[in-house]
Amino acid sequence: MSRSPSLSGWFQQSVATGDAASRGALVALILLQVFRDIALIAAYWGFSAMITQWIMEESSASTSMLVLTLVSLLLVWVSQGLSLFLNHRYRLGLLAQLQSRLLLTFSRQQHALVRQHSAFHWQTLWQMHLPAVVNWHFDYRVQQMVAVVVPIIALVAIFTVNLVVGASLLITLPIVPLFMVLVGKGAAAQHRKHFIALERLGRLFVDRVSALPLLASFRAHDAQRELLDTAGNSLRERTMKVVSIAFLSTTVLDFFSTLAVALIAVYIGFTLLGEFDLGESINLQQGLWLLLTAPLLLSEMKKLGQFYHQKAQAESAREAMGDMLKNDDSVVNHAVFSSLSLSGELTTAPDLRTEQLNLESGDWVRLGGESGAGKTVLMELLSGQRPGLEAPVTHYALLTQTPVILPFSVRENLTLGGDFTDDVLGQVLAEVELNGWVASLPQGLDTPMGEHPPLSGGQAQRLAIARLLLRKAPVWFLDEPTAHLPQAQHDAISALIHRTCGDATVIWASHKPLPDAWFNRRWQVANGVVSQ
């Protein structure tokens, strides 16, 4: 996967594909917020006029100004409500859409993908990274545009009212992009430093808590607690030194926005008094309006700073997810397997190629090679769990070295929710010689297996084979099914497989000896090359 240039680039290429995250939604949210601020500027005008009428003209508010103010404020209120409503709706909509895309990716790449990371990794990706992308899209990206457009509009409005204030704000306008950079860089640096410090502290803590049995075994608990305390305190001192400077950049924005209000107030006040005369007359209405409108130049940018952490979170989401959320509307081919002939490059990362590789229906293939050579990768490729083949095998059974026993009943472990009669179940259990074991269970087929199933390794593998036998798959991928079993069990289970899968096409990877007579083909994987 090539590294995309920016977060938005990645989002456009890998997430906003198909009908997800339309641009229209983003534009609607931006327009609503800009419109809200324009209405606010109009409301300030009417408001200042009414105040002037009260204080200078000592009369009650005129109807025209009251209507202007209230209508504008209502528009502010309605557009704010509308943008809240849309934001929440879009957000949940996109979340649901991305969740189903994630599930689609899982259903396509299955075990080949999931086995690469821990369950915790996938939980985090699902629970944290998905919402992080959505939040960034609907908060940060919207605010980013608003923070550019609104100051320009406000500045134009200010110019039409008062040249001096407008000009002095314009002088600071080049500082605005500088602020963007400052806030961006500063907040980024601050966030990073703070985040790294917290993460380090957290990792040390997680590491030691996960090692509780080790610490108990070696009576090292107290020594390690002291270490955690010291590490926490010294990390705090070091971090605060760095962060102290990083905080300044946030303060700079606060400094300018606060000072702008203070200085404009003093300037306008003194002009009203006649102390200052820069050639432009000013009245209370204009002065008050300027005081209210000027903060809009910076307030939207300050809000952007509040969303800054979303960018960092979206960055780490991008790293974890890559292309997993891409729209995939390709159709899975359901043809029944008859034969297969492959040559040339099979897959990259890890590289795997072959001169010629043939597989006919009914073949028994012995797949050999060092561990890590790519036997599993080859089987994943043939089964389509790893993308690469045009027409992978579709109806197959896969047996790995670790049998999965679900915490549900024996029956559910076999049927996986499908419809099978007790007779059929009894038959396959007899085939794998587990009928005696099931009969000995307190509730027979309906005995729950729980978190610690009452099975030996060999029995668990037999149950897994029974589950596969039920499906009558024409192709079997056996990935070291006896690796964890002692020799006697290995012999028994292998013989069982040979007996029960006689008619199927079998590809069998094993380090342990198997009778040569069972196989009519031999594949060898070495140095990224599959040979037959």
Partner 1 sequence: MRNIPFISLLLAILHTTSGLLILIFSSWFLAACALLPVNFNYMLPAVIIRALALTRIGAGYGHMWLAHHDLLGRTTWLRSELFNRLKDHILVEKAGDVEKLAAQTEMLSSVWVGWVAHQASAAVLVLLSVSVVTYLTLPGAALMWIMAGLWLVISLWLVYFGLNKAASQAKDEQAFRYQSEHFFAASSLWHLQLNENNQQFRNAPQLSSVWQKQQAVESAGQWGLWLIHGAAIAAIGALFWSNQQDGFGDATAIIVPMLLLSITDWLGRPVGTVAHLGKYRQAAQALKRDDAAPLPPMVKGSPERAIELQDFQAQTMPHGVSVKLPVSGLVVLLGASGCGKSSLMKALAGLVPAQGELLFDGNTVAAGRREGWVYVEQSPRILEATLKMNLNPAEKPMTPEVMTQALAQFGLESLTNPDEWLGQGGRRLSGGESRRLSLARAQLAEPDVWLVDEPFEGLDERNQQLVEAGLLQAAGGNLVIVATHVLPAELTDRAAQIIEM
Q: Please report, as residue ranges, which positions from 173 to 202 form the binding site for partner 1 (by CB under 8 A).
A: 194, 197-198, 201-202
Candidate segments 254-262, 357-365, 497-505, 523-531, binder of partner 1 by CB under 8 A: 254-262
What span, in angstroms and rounded, lies between the C-alpha atoms of 220 and 212?
9
Cα R_g (the chain), whole angstroms = 34
Interaction of residue 205 with partner 1, rule CB under 8 A: yes
What span, in angstroms and rounded, lies between the C-alpha atoms of 464 and 458?
10
354 vs 414, beta carbon nearer partner 1: 414
One of 1, 119, 335, 349 touching partner 1 (CB under 8 A): 119
Residue list 410-469, contact with partner 1 (CB under 8 A): 416-418, 452, 454-458, 460, 467-468
Residue list 206-235, contact with partner 1 (CB under 8 A): 206-225, 227-229, 232-233, 235
One of 47, 90, 179, 308 touching partner 1 (CB under 8 A): 47
Helices then strands, counting H and E runs in the chain, come out as: 19, 8
Candidate segments 110-118, 141-149, 152-160, 310-318, binder of partner 1 by CB under 8 A: 110-118
12 vs 401, beta carbon nearer partner 1: 401
51 vs 189, beta carbon nearer partner 1: 51
Taken in order 234, 236, 241, 242, is the CA torsion positive or negative?
Answer: positive
Task: Evaluate whether 409 touches 448 at the Cβ level (below 8 Å).
Answer: yes
Interaction of residue 77 with partner 1, rule CB under 8 A: yes
One of 18, 81, 322, 362 touching partner 1 (CB under 8 A): 81
Candidate segments 78-86, 335-343, 496-504, 514-522, binder of partner 1 by CB under 8 A: 78-86
One of 166, 186, 287, 369 touching partner 1 (CB under 8 A): 287
Interaction of residue 61 with partner 1, rule CB under 8 A: yes
Residue list 356-375, contact with partner 1 (CB under 8 A): none
Interaction of residue 60 with partner 1, rule CB under 8 A: yes
Q: Nearest CA to 138 among 100, 85, 212?
A: 85
Task: Evaluate whether 296 touches 150 at the Cβ level (below 8 Å).
Answer: yes
Structure tokens at 151: 């100051």
Helices (H), 274-326: 284-293, 296-306, 308-321
Residue list 465-484, contact with partner 1 (CB under 8 A): 467-468, 471, 484
How many residues belong to the site for partner 1 (CB under 8 A)?
Answer: 139
353 vs 484, beta carbon nearer partner 1: 484
Burial of 462 (0-12, 13-18, 19+ CB in 10 A): buried
- Spatial CB neighbours of 362, under 8 Å, sequence gap ≥ 6: 503, 504, 505
Interaction of residue 407 with partner 1, rule CB under 8 A: yes
12 vs 489, beta carbon nearer partner 1: 489
Task: Evaluate whether 149 touches 30 at the Cβ level (below 8 Å).
Answer: yes
5 vs 274, beta carbon nearer partner 1: 274
What span, in angstroms and rounded, lies between the C-alpha atoms of 47 and 79?
19
Interaction of residue 341 with partner 1, rule CB under 8 A: no
Residue list 255-274, contact with partner 1 (CB under 8 A): 255, 258-259, 261-262, 265-266, 268-270, 272-273
Burial of 129 (0-12, 13-18, 19+ CB in 10 A): buried
DSSP code per residue over 147-206: HHHHHHHHHHHHHHH-HHHHHHHHHHTTHHHHHHHHHHHHHHHHHHHHHHHHHHHHHHHH
Q: Give the per-residue contact string, 492-511, with partner 1 (x = CB under 8 A; - = no).
A: --------------------
Q: Give the per-residue contact string, 2-41, with partner 1 (x = CB under 8 A; - = no).
A: ----------------------------------------
Q: Give the per-residue contact string, 133-172, with partner 1 (x = CB under 8 A; - = no).
A: ----------------------------------------
Structure tokens at 354: 């072959």
